Structures are given as structure tokens and as C-alpha cells.
Chains A and B, each alone.
Chain A
Amino acid sequence: MSVIATSPVTASAARVSREEWVARAGVLLLIAWLLLTLALPLWALLSKSFQNQNGEFVGLANYIRYFSTPTLFGSIFNSVWVAIATTAIVIPLAFGYAYALTRTRMPFKGLFYAAALLPLFAPSLLSAISLIYLFGNQGLLKWLLFGGSIYGAPGIVVAQVFYCFPHALIITVTALALADARLYEVAEALGTRNARVFRTVTLPGAKFGLINAAFVVFTLVVTDFGIAKVIGGQFNVLATDAYKQVVGQQNFEMGAVVGMVLLVPAVLAFAIDRVVQRRQVALLSARAVPYEPKRSPVRDALLLAYCCVLALILIGVLGTAIWASFITYWPYNLTLTLKNYDFANFDPGGWSPYFTSLEMALATAIVGTTIVFTGAYLVEKTKVLPAGRALAHLLAMLPMAVPGLVLGLGYVFFINAKGNPLGFLYATIAVLVINSVAHFYTVAHITALTALKQIDPEYESVSASLKVPFWRTFRRVTAPICMPAIIDIAIYMFVNALTTVSAVIFLYGPSSKLAAIAIVHMDEMGASAAAAAMASVIVATALGAKFLHILLERVVFMRLQAWRQR
């Protein structure tokens, strides 16, 4: 029985202490990273809002000035009512669409879901550009407005509805997909009318999802910069105020105050989401039987028609921008051309912002995925420093409550602070990557945690009993098992880093100008066709990455993950 003798005790004892030491060092490094890239920039923003131009503490003076300046103060009202209007429109629309996807037997559900998710692959301002092409001063469909104007609040709301639709849809689909068939069977057995079943079973089941979706949408609208910038005209909102104060007037203190104001709805939404999620758990027991929709031709046909209309609008808005990018001179000469893609004619950088974006997004995906997954592993699977791991988790959840614009502002103040040894990073690609990793940390962290939690918790115990250090099991077992989640995280980071405007608008420099920022600039200069062209290139790249992802899953994983098959 003893072909191989057990290893000497002293050697293994020494390695063990090294193992614990490595885990501890990992946790401490993770905390240090999160503090540096998240907590300190936010602290810089907070303290800036209490300082004057010379960096002296002035208490609430900046806030008092802000709230006594009607032009600034009014933006809060503008932002809030635009966000409420968008939420009120987008939630019912998304609920209907999600209901069709989850509770009917209509055909092509996958296709409809994919179509609705399209806006996720474009910068938010793309919808605004499209709207201008359709309803702007030179809009093809301007006559539909009967003399009204799309610029300002109406344009913002419509563009936001387009941009927020997939976000609201994902949440409502998840909420509606979780249904206990038994509840419906009981209701039916008791002879309940359909309308009452909907009111007493369906809606309560999706209630938390709807609340959550509403807050997510509200926050997205309040904190989005791109759409208001492009189509807002003279209509001031918080996000554009922050930009004007910091970039336009170099008034950093007032920018910091606006940033703090922007933080309020996001933090509120975050807190409510926490509460909602805690209560959602108890809703569906482990014994629930998944709901299978029954045949109902009339309902299915009606909802199919509804989905067709919405999907066509979503594709149409995206398509308009792409079409317009090939048009010679909108709307007078509609012949197709490629000259709008010759970016050198509109922007001194030419195509280089695009490649910078690509580089930045790739780096974000690689660096971000590595840090997030390793960090999540340390938090979930090691047993060292319990308080430290709890702190790391808390910090990792923080970005969810911090809009990109606010984080970007924090970075500006933090990096440029006097005496910060990291000042050399300003305007480099590195800082854009670090900022993006921090900005998109939470969703990636939750994805990694979810995948890790599904793994048998005893793998680490087994490794320890076999005297195998944990990093070996991490490399040989845990990471390979989690490969689908790791790729998900990488794609998520890549697409978001590619399309984001708000976080990076304050941070780029001449050598690190991104495609998304080039769009804003070309649009500012009136070169909207080139802006549309650049946006189309980003959409194509993001979609390409997604298709590559699907292909990778279908083909490569079939072979690499043969062990999944029975």
C-alpha cells in the first residue's frame, strides 16, 4: 500500500505557512488595489467638494453656492424629471417584452431577446445621433413632430428609452423567468380568472424585479452623459453640468459638488437593490417547479406583434446611425459613400482613437478579468483574514453605486492632487484601463462569485489533505471549471470599456484619446456623419467580440470541456 512514502512532516509544515502567507498577501494586495483605485478617488472627490481653489477647507460653502445658483440647482430638477419620464415609459415597455419572452409560446424568442439587447453594444450617444438624423433639424421624419423640436428634454427621454431598454429587459426577464408553476396550477384549480391570476400571482412575483429595474433605469438616466451632450441642446442636466464645470470652466470644486449630487440617486438605488435582493430570496423555494407557458394563440399573436414593433424600432434606431454613416450629405444627397470613415478629415487623430480604444478595451478585459477573478477566489475560497476578505468584498460592491462620471471626476482630483506619486499616470492609457476596471468591477465580481459559489466548497479541503497548495488547485481545477464565467467577464469588460464615455471623458490625453470621445468631439464640431461612422465601428467591434464569444463557447468549449458531458 505504500508505493510512495508520505512526505516528511517538517517540509510540509514549512510549505503550509508559505501557503497561508501567499493567501494573506493576496487578500492584502486586493484590498490595497481596491482602496487605491476606488476608495481614494472617491475620497478625493468628497474632500474636493469641501475645499476652495487653493485646497483650503471651506465647509459647505461650495454646496451653498451650488444650491443658491438657479442655473445649477435647476439641473437637479431637469435630471430627475427626465429620469422619471424615461422610467415610466421604459418599465412597462420592457415588462411587456419580457412577459412575451418568458410567459408565451411565441416563436423566435432568442432572436427577439438578442435584438432587444443590441443597444448594449453601442455607446449611449448613438441613439441620440440616430434621433437627430430622424427628427433633428435635417431629420427625415421631422414632419412627424408637427413643428416640435427633438432637441432638449423630449430627445433625451426618447434616446434614453432606447439606451435603457435592454438594462430594464434583462432584469424583468430574470424576475419573470423565476416562477413557480404550482402557484399557477393552484390558481387554475380554484377557477381564478386570468386577469386576477396576473394581478395576484404574476405581478407580485415580478414586483421586486420591477422595482429594481426602475431604480437601475433611473440611475442610468441621471448619470448618463453622452445622450444629454448630443441631443440635450440648452437643456441642462447634472451630467452635462459636471462636464461644463470641470472641462469648460475648470471649476473643479463645483464639479465635485455636482459629482456628489450625482452620487445620491445611485447610492439610493444601490441600497434599495440590496434590500430587494434580500427579500427576493425567500420568494422562491427550492421545491418550486419551473413554469411552462401553455398554448394560447391569441395572446401569443398579440405579443408577437408587440415584440415585432419594438424590435423593429430598436433595430431601426441602430440602423439609422449606421445607414447615415454611409450617406454623402444628409438628407439632400442620399447616395452611399465611405468618405465619413476617413476620420482624418474630421479629427486630427484619424483612426488612431479607434485603435487606442481597442487597445484600452483589450487591456481592461485582460487585466480586469485577472484581478476580478483572482480577487473573487481569494474572497470566496480562502479562509485567511476574515475581516480583510469582508472588506475586500464590500469595496468590490462599491462601484455599483458609483456612476462612471463620478468615478472619472474622482480620478481627476486624485491623480492631479499635489504630491501624488501616481500623477505621472494622468492622461495615459494605463489610467483609463485602471479606471475602467474599477468602474465595471462589481458586475464582474458578482459573476465570478456566482460561478465560484457553485463549485464544491470542499475542493480546497481535499487539496489540503493531499498536501497540494491552493494555487495549484486554483490553476488546475477552479479556473478551468469557471472558464465560461471568466470569458463572460472578459467580454463584459471589453464591450463596456469600448462603449463607455462618461468615466473616461475627464481622463484622456492627446495620446490616449478614445473612439467614444472622438464621437463626442466630431459631433460637437458638427461632423455628425463621421460621429455616426465611428459609433458604427464601435458597434461592429463590440458585436464582433460577442459573436466570437458565442463561437468560442459553441466550438472550443465543446472540445476543451468534454468533462461536462455525461
Chain B
Amino acid sequence: MDSPAALKMNGNAAAAPPFLRVCNVIKRFGKFLALKDVSLEVAKGEFVCFLGPSGCGKTTLLRAIAGLDPQDEGMIEIGGRDVSRLPPAARDFGIVFQSYALFPNLTVAANVGYGLVNRGTGRPTIDARVAELLALVGLGDQSAKYPAQLSGGQQQRVALARALATSPGLLLLDEPLSALDARVRIRLRDEIKALQRRLGVTTIMVTHDQDEALAMADRVVVMNQGVIEQIGSPADIYRTPKTAFVADFVGTMTFLDGEIAGPMSLRIGAMELACPEARRFQSGSSVRIGLRPEEIRVRNLDSATPNRFAARIAALNFHGAFCRAQLEPEAAPHIPIFADFSANLMRDLAVTQGQRLTIALPPESLRVFAKS
């Protein structure tokens, strides 16, 4: 796990104090440790995704920040104010749940205005605010309908408008898109992101969908078994995963067992490969080597290309825009390597099953992880 110091924002945001600070938070459910000493900071206006498999603690962390399931130990600070022991209503956030939790017996307008009604402002102010919010989410003409009369995507937007109605400093989204079908999900993904940019509201979204996290977040917090595995920009997380878990969970990766052969090389079976990352490990130690299937090269190879070897295509799986090939290196046929070949490449090289190919594994694309 990273130390809290390593999790600080980089770049210009680091100068301003963080909007949200989570320090050494621990949460137990009976004997089960759901959050093991979790710390992170979120800058004002940032869009952060908590990403991880189910049961990794991402929703638990979100609910601790909201105060819905308070943490057992540790400190949470929102907007410079220690809210660790405050109940939800005393914290400053709006929340959207996976189920939306819209009140079915109230109209869309009444749902959106629900948190405004008991604030002592007059009817006209509330109505204006509700209209403003509904226009914001593109539902200006649906205000008199009941939630059951709306589509899933529309309900989701009503929930978003309701959460934003009180102008909270922090917007919490708990898997807001998982209940929608794929097409609507992708459209709403962009809409939410655009809205968040426009309003500049600090946002935390919980999701188990890596595409969603990579597409929407400024920074992704990858969690596993109650700890933060890595925090970083989507590109960071994808290109330089710090742990085998992150590498495996975000995107596709082939894992191979091998050992460090020298300061810049490693050995997989009978093959010796150049790899700059090898220097992080002691020579001779056994490691896991990760390789993204799209990194494997087959074109423009010459004798100077490093990590070049012959392989046989053992199987081909059609995926539409690309084909995933299972390759068997001739020097080590028992070690399968997966490679994604674009439709273009398939056509140009007329790739078929059983064919022999010369492939290259770019040294900088080889990720080396310690064996757990």
C-alpha cells in the first residue's frame, strides 16, 4: 500500500489545501476488516473514481465519507472541517444511489425540491431552483410526472438533480450507472462528466466498471480487499500499474512466470528478454511479468528489434474490431501469450490459425511484479 504522503495530489492542485481528506480510516463489520487504514486526499473540483471488484471496500469508503456507516477509526475532513463524528445531515454532500431512491409518490419536481422545502425559502425561490435544475439535466418538461413514468436514464438524472439541489460541496455517486443498459450508460457517462466540469463540484463516484472509471475520472483510486492499491490518472493506472492486481483489474493483461536474469533482462522459460523494469529487482528472484495484448508487435520488425522471436498462432478468437490470438513461442510452446490483432492487421497479413509469425515484445511494455 502507498503511504499517505505518496497519495498527495501532484501538479498545481497540491498547493491548495485538499477539499476532502481521509486519514487512516478503519472500518470493521464484525470480524471482517472492510477498510484497512485507508488514506487519500481529493482536491476541490476533482472527479475521483473508486474502482475495484465487489467487496473491495469502495462503497464502504463512500458511505463512511457520507457518514451513513461511520468509520471505526480514523479522520475524515470535508472542506477543512473535521466531520469524523458528525451525522450525515451535518456533512455537506449530495448523493445518488444505484437504485436512485426516488420517492415514488412525489412528482419529479417535488423530488428535486425535497431538500429545499424546509430551508425557509419561499415557494417561488424553490420553484425557480427546481426548474433550473431540471433544465440542467435536460428534463425541463417532465416536472409533473412521477418517477415510475420515466425511463431508467431519466430517473437517474432526476436523482442527480435532487442531489445537486442544495448546492452541496461534495457529490457522491454510488454506482449510479450500473442499473442502466449499455447504450444509455455510455451517453449518461458523458453527460455526468460534462455537468461535473460545468459545475465544478468535487465528485466521488464508486464503480466496478473500469471503462467507466477510465473515461470519467480525473483520478482513479483502485481498491482491493480494503486497501488502496494505486491512485493515479487513468493513463497512469493503465500504463504503469503498480501492482499485479491493478494490472489485472484495469484492462487485460497476460501474466507469465519468470525470473530476473540481469539488470536489464529477464528470463521466461528458455527465452531471455530485455526489460528496463528488471533493474528494480534482484537478479535471480522469481517475478510475474505482465504484458498487455495490444502491445505485441508483428509489423516493421527487423534484426535490431529487441525481444523478437517466432511463435505459432494456436487459436484465434473473433472480437469484431480485433482478434485475440493465443500465441505459442517456438522456444517455449507451453507458455501461451495473448495478443490483440486489429482487423486491419488481420486483413493485411492474412492471419490464420496455425500460422507462424515473428513477434516482438517491446521491452518498455513488459511490467514486472514481485511474486506474492
Chain A residues with a Cβ under 8 A of chain B: 1-7, 9, 12-13, 15-16, 19-20, 456, 458-459, 461-469, 472-473, 476-477, 480-481, 561-566
Q: With A9-B81, A19-B89, A477-B105 in contact, do A465 and B148 touch (Cβ < 8 Å)? A: no
Contact in complex: B103, A459 (CB < 8 Å): yes
Interface 1/0s, chain B 153-189, versus A by CB < 8 A? 0000000001111111100100000000000000000
Contact in complex: B66, A12 (CB < 8 Å): no
Sampled A-B contacts (7; CB under 8 Å): A6-B167, A465-B93, A465-B168, A472-B118, A477-B103, A563-B106, A563-B107
| Cα-based distance from A557 to B202 in the complex (angstroms) | 43
Interface 1/0s, chain B 318-351, versus A by CB < 8 A? 0000000000000000000000000000000000
Specify which chain A residues have a CB less than 8 angstroms from the CB of B166 in the assembled complex: 4, 6, 466-467
Specify which chain A residues have a CB less than 8 angstroms from the CB of B81 in the assembled complex: 9
Interface 1/0s, chain B 82-93, versus A by CB < 8 A? 000011111011
Residue of A3, A15, A19, A561 with highest tally of chain B CB at under 10 A: A3
| Cα-based distance from A3 to B87 in the complex (angstroms) | 25
Q: With A13-B86, A466-B114 in contact, do A461 and B132 touch (Cβ < 8 Å)? A: no
B225 at the interface (CB under 8 A from A): no
Q: How far is the CB of B195 from chain A (nearest CB, A)?
A: 10
B19 at the interface (CB under 8 A from A): no
| Cα-based distance from A456 to B121 in the complex (angstroms) | 29
Specify which chain B residues have a CB less than 8 angstroms from the CB of A481 in the assembled complex: 104-105
Contact in complex: B199, A465 (CB < 8 Å): no
Q: How far is the CB of B59 from chain A (nearest CB, A)?
A: 12
B52 at the interface (CB under 8 A from A): no
Specify which chain A residues have a CB less than 8 angstroms from the CB of B285 in the assembled complex: none
| Cα-based distance from A410 to B129 in the complex (angstroms) | 59
Q: Which of B94-102, B275-283, B292-300 contacts A (4 or more CB under 8 A)?
A: B94-102
* Cβ contact of B146, chosen from A3, A4, A13, A562, cutoff 8 A: A562
Specify which chain A residues have a CB less than 8 angstroms from the CB of B147 in the assembled complex: 563
Specify which chain A residues have a CB less than 8 angstroms from the CB of B97 in the assembled complex: 456, 458, 461-462
Specify which chain B residues have a CB less than 8 angstroms from the CB of A466 in the assembled complex: 94, 114-115, 162, 165-166
Contact in complex: B118, A468 (CB < 8 Å): yes
Contact in complex: A461, B90 (CB < 8 Å): no
Contact in complex: A476, B106 (CB < 8 Å): yes
* Cβ contact of A5, chosen from B66, B101, B167, cutoff 8 A: B167
| Cα-based distance from A435 to B95 in the complex (angstroms) | 45
Specify which chain B residues have a CB less than 8 angstroms from the CB of A13 in the assembled complex: 86, 90
Give the number of A-B contacts (CB < 8 Å): 115
Contact in complex: A464, B129 (CB < 8 Å): no
Q: How far is the CB of A327 from chain B (nearest CB, A)?
A: 52
Specify which chain B residues have a CB less than 8 angstroms from the CB of A477 in the assembled complex: 103, 105-106
B307 at the interface (CB under 8 A from A): no
Residue of B nearest to A566 (CB): B148
| Cα-based distance from A476 to B169 in the complex (angstroms) | 27
| Cα-based distance from A6 to B168 in the complex (angstroms) | 7
Specify which chain B residues have a CB less than 8 angstroms from the CB of A565 in the assembled complex: 148-149
| Cα-based distance from A481 to B117 in the complex (angstroms) | 20
Specify which chain B residues have a CB less than 8 angstroms from the CB of A463 in the assembled complex: 114
| Cα-based distance from A520 to B364 in the complex (angstroms) | 95
Specify which chain B residues have a CB less than 8 angstroms from the CB of A6 in the assembled complex: 92, 166-169
B116 at the interface (CB under 8 A from A): yes
| Cα-based distance from A15 to B88 in the complex (angstroms) | 12
Specify which chain A residues have a CB less than 8 angstroms from the CB of B115 in the assembled complex: 465-468
Specify which chain B residues have a CB less than 8 angstroms from the CB of A9 in the assembled complex: 81, 90, 92
Residue of A nearest to B149 (CB): A566
Residue of A nearest to B117 (CB): A468
Q: With A4-B119, A468-B118 in contact, do A458 and B101 touch (Cβ < 8 Å)? A: yes
Q: How far is the CB of A131 from chain B (nearest CB, A)?
A: 49
| Cα-based distance from A489 to B106 in the complex (angstroms) | 24
Residue of A nearest to B150 (CB): A566
Interface size on B, residues (CB 8 A): 47
Contact in complex: B99, A12 (CB < 8 Å): no
Residue of B nearest to A456 (CB): B101
Contact in complex: B87, A464 (CB < 8 Å): yes
Specify which chain A residues have a CB less than 8 angstroms from the CB of B95 in the assembled complex: 461-462, 465
Residue of A nearest to B98 (CB): A458
| Cα-based distance from A462 to B86 in the complex (angstroms) | 16
Specify which chain B residues have a CB less than 8 angstroms from the CB of A469 in the assembled complex: 89
Specify which chain B residues have a CB less than 8 angstroms from the CB of A464 in the assembled complex: 67-68, 87-89
Q: With A4-B116, A6-B167 in contact, do A561 and B125 touch (Cβ < 8 Å)? A: no
Q: How far is the CB of B257 from chain A (nearest CB, A)?
A: 40
Q: How far is the CB of A47 from chain B (nearest CB, A)?
A: 38
Residue of A nearest to B126 (CB): A4
| Cα-based distance from A2 to B148 in the complex (angstroms) | 29
Residue of B nearest to A480 (CB): B105
| Cα-based distance from A56 to B225 in the complex (angstroms) | 63
B128 at the interface (CB under 8 A from A): yes
Specify which chain B residues have a CB less than 8 angstroms from the CB of A476 in the assembled complex: 103, 106
Contact in complex: B118, A4 (CB < 8 Å): no
Residue of A nearest to B167 (CB): A2
Q: How far is the CB of B29 from chain A (nearest CB, A)?
A: 13
| Cα-based distance from A466 to B165 in the complex (angstroms) | 9
Given A13-B86, A459-B103, A477-B106, 10 new contacts (CB under 8 A): A1-B199, A6-B166, A12-B90, A16-B87, A16-B90, A462-B162, A464-B68, A465-B168, A468-B89, A565-B149
* Cβ contact of B88, chosen from A3, A465, A473, cutoff 8 A: A465
Specify which chain A residues have a CB less than 8 angstroms from the CB of B88 in the assembled complex: 461, 464-465
Specify which chain B residues have a CB less than 8 angstroms from the CB of A456 in the assembled complex: 97, 99, 101
Q: How far is the CB of B201 from chain A (nearest CB, A)?
A: 8
7 closest A-B pairs (Cβ-Cβ)? Answer: A466-B115, A464-B88, A458-B101, A563-B146, A13-B90, A477-B103, A16-B87
Q: How far is the CB of B114 from chain A (nearest CB, A)?
A: 6
Contact in complex: B167, A461 (CB < 8 Å): no
Residue of B nearest to A11 (CB): B90
Q: How far is the CB of B199 from chain A (nearest CB, A)?
A: 5
| Cα-based distance from A340 to B115 in the complex (angstroms) | 62
Residue of A nearest to B174 (CB): A458
| Cα-based distance from A466 to B68 in the complex (angstroms) | 13
| Cα-based distance from A1 to B161 in the complex (angstroms) | 11
Specify which chain A residues have a CB less than 8 angstroms from the CB of B104 in the assembled complex: 481, 563-564
* Cβ contact of B89, chosen from A1, A3, A467, A566, cutoff 8 A: A467
| Cα-based distance from A564 to B107 in the complex (angstroms) | 12
Contact in complex: A465, B94 (CB < 8 Å): yes
Residue of A nearest to B94 (CB): A465
Q: With A9-B81, A16-B90, A465-B66 in contact, do A4 and B121 touch (Cβ < 8 Å)? A: yes
* Cβ contact of A462, chosen from B101, B107, B199, cutoff 8 A: B101
Specify which chain A residues have a CB less than 8 angstroms from the CB of B67 in the assembled complex: 464
| Cα-based distance from A277 to B148 in the complex (angstroms) | 33
* Cβ contact of A564, chosen from B129, B148, B165, cutoff 8 A: B148
Residue of A nearest to B170 (CB): A465
Q: How far is the CB of A557 from chain B (nearest CB, A)?
A: 12
Residue of B nearest to A470 (CB): B89
Residue of A15, A463, A466 with highest tally of chain B CB at under 10 A: A466
Q: How far is the CB of B337 from chain A (nearest CB, A)?
A: 39
Q: How far is the CB of A528 from chain B (nearest CB, A)?
A: 51
| Cα-based distance from A465 to B165 in the complex (angstroms) | 11
Interface residues of B in 7-58 (CB under 8 A from A): none
Specify which chain A residues have a CB less than 8 angstroms from the CB of B89 in the assembled complex: 12, 15-16, 19, 464-465, 467-469
| Cα-based distance from A69 to B183 in the complex (angstroms) | 80
Q: How far is the CB of A11 from chain B (nearest CB, A)?
A: 10
| Cα-based distance from A465 to B172 in the complex (angstroms) | 10
| Cα-based distance from A130 to B6 in the complex (angstroms) | 86
Q: How far is the CB of A471 from chain B (nearest CB, A)?
A: 11
Q: How far is the CB of A280 from chain B (nearest CB, A)?
A: 26
| Cα-based distance from A51 to B146 in the complex (angstroms) | 63
Contact in complex: A16, B68 (CB < 8 Å): no
Interface 1/0s, chain B 256-269, versus A by CB < 8 A? 00000000000000
| Cα-based distance from A472 to B115 in the complex (angstroms) | 11
Specify which chain A residues have a CB less than 8 angstroms from the CB of B199 in the assembled complex: 1
| Cα-based distance from A494 to B168 in the complex (angstroms) | 47
